[in-house]
Amino acid sequence: MKRPALIPPCPGWKEDFNLPNDLPKVKPNPGLVNANHQEDSYLETSRHSLNMRGLLFICIPTSFPALILLPDMLLESLTDRNYTFFLIGLIILLIAIWQTTLFLRLLRLTPRDEPIRFNRARQRIYAYNFSYCWWNPFIPWPVKTVSYEWKDVRAERWKKQGVTHQGSHVVKVGIMLSIVEPGTNKVIDRFPLTNLVDEESVWAYICTYMQHGLSAVPPAPLNRDHNDLLWCQFAMRLAPEVKWPEKIDHESRTTPQAIPPVKVALP
């Protein structure tokens, strides 16, 4: 029976993939790589933590009747001393406020993309991570850019099963990237590589690229520019564009500068 190698394993852990500089166990599959950019110095892959923008955009108006009508109705119920209606109405109003705030902030704050850059020249990865708290939409939801050594990256397959409110069975899969302290299996950071695909061939593609370069892997189909929107993408237009910090943006796209030769004065 397989046991997790990392401490702690990711939620829903199913399998650890090969180490970043080891030979991949499966053949790279370019068709599953969600690529924004690829050249010999770096590869950028795309991620989306919010896959239902259009549905959220449509659902927001469903809370408007409660937000508009309930405040006056609650005041009337207090005047009439109808405390049962007041309590029920207050709960509904709070839920409506929570839902509207959550949906609006998800649409307005979730970036159009959350890319990861794998810089082969520097042997580092750079991640544009966005985190949110679904049950508390009133706290800050930051975008955090991080950079780590490639040799300290680990990949895990995860799978979660659940049941929706309608009773239907749902299975979610993905690949988690975990960062370990050098020389240990202790995880110090963790963020997803994919949220919809758990095929090991995606990790194999990235490992092969980082080890041998672009010539060692078939070219992956490139995504459309996330800022080049269609007229009908109203929900996506509300989302902020990806803006890397200037220093990290430059470093993640370039090769290390050559060290200039030291000039020694002759006697």
Residue 237 lies in a domain: yes
Across the chain, what does the average pLDDT equal?
89
Q: CA–CA separation, 239 vs 107, rounded Å?
A: 6
Domain boundary residue among 109, 134, 154?
Answer: 109
Domain boundary residue among 69, 91, 109?
Answer: 109
Domain boundary residue among 64, 82, 109?
Answer: 109
Same domain as 19, residue 66 = no
Q: CA–CA separation, 211 vs 207, rounded Å?
A: 6
Same domain as 138, residue 234 = yes
Q: How confident is the model at residue 83 (pLDDT cuts 50, 70, 90)?
A: confident
Residue 182 lies in a domain: yes
Phi and psi dihedrals of 140, rounded to 5?
A: -65, 140
Same domain as 166, residue 71 = no
Same domain as 134, residue 65 = no
For residue range 17-36, list pLDDT tens digits in order. Answer: 999 999 999 999 999 999 99
Same domain as 180, residue 139 = yes
Give the burial string for 200-232 (b: 16+ CB within 10 Å, else e).
Answer: bbbbbbbbbbbbeebeebeebeeeeebeeeeee
Same domain as 88, residue 43 = no
Same domain as 123, residue 103 = no
Q: Are 37 and 222 in contact (CB under 8 A)?
A: yes
Residue 7 lies in a domain: no
Same domain as 86, residue 211 = no
Same domain as 88, residue 29 = no
Residue 243 lies in a domain: yes
Q: How confident is the model at residue 158 (pLDDT cuts 50, 70, 90)?
A: very high
For residue range 214-223, list pLDDT tens digits in order. Answer: 999 999 989 9
Total domains in the chain come to 2
Strands 143-149 and 42-45 turn out to be unpaired
Residue 6 lies in a domain: no
Query: Residue 93's domain spans which residues?
Result: 55-109
Q: Does position 264 have pLDDT exceeding 60, yes or no?
A: no
Residue 4 lies in a domain: no
Q: Are 217 and 209 in contact (CB under 8 A)?
A: yes
Instruction: Please give the distance of CA 137 from its chain centroid, rounded to a whole number.
Output: 18
Same domain as 190, residue 78 = no
Most distant CA pair in the chain, distance = 102
- Amino acid symbol at 210: M
For residue range 227-254, list pLDDT tens digits in order. Answer: 888 777 888 888 899 999 999 999 999 9
Alpha helices in the chain (DSSP H): 53-59, 64-79, 83-109, 200-212, 234-237, 246-253
- What lies within 8 Å, CB to CB, of 76 at 6+ separation is none
Q: What is the mean pLDDT of residues 4-24?
A: 95
Q: Does position 260 have pLDDT exceeding 60, yes or no?
A: no
Q: Are 28 and 174 in contact (CB under 8 A)?
A: no
Q: What is the mean pLDDT of residues 117-136?
A: 94
123: left (phi over 0), alpha (psi -120 to 50) or beta: left
Same domain as 148, residue 59 = no
Q: Are 238 and 48 in contact (CB under 8 A)?
A: no
Nearest C-alpha neighbor of 109 from the set 223, 228, 241, 231: 241
Residue 202 lies in a domain: yes
Residue 97 lies in a domain: yes
Same domain as 242, residue 186 = yes
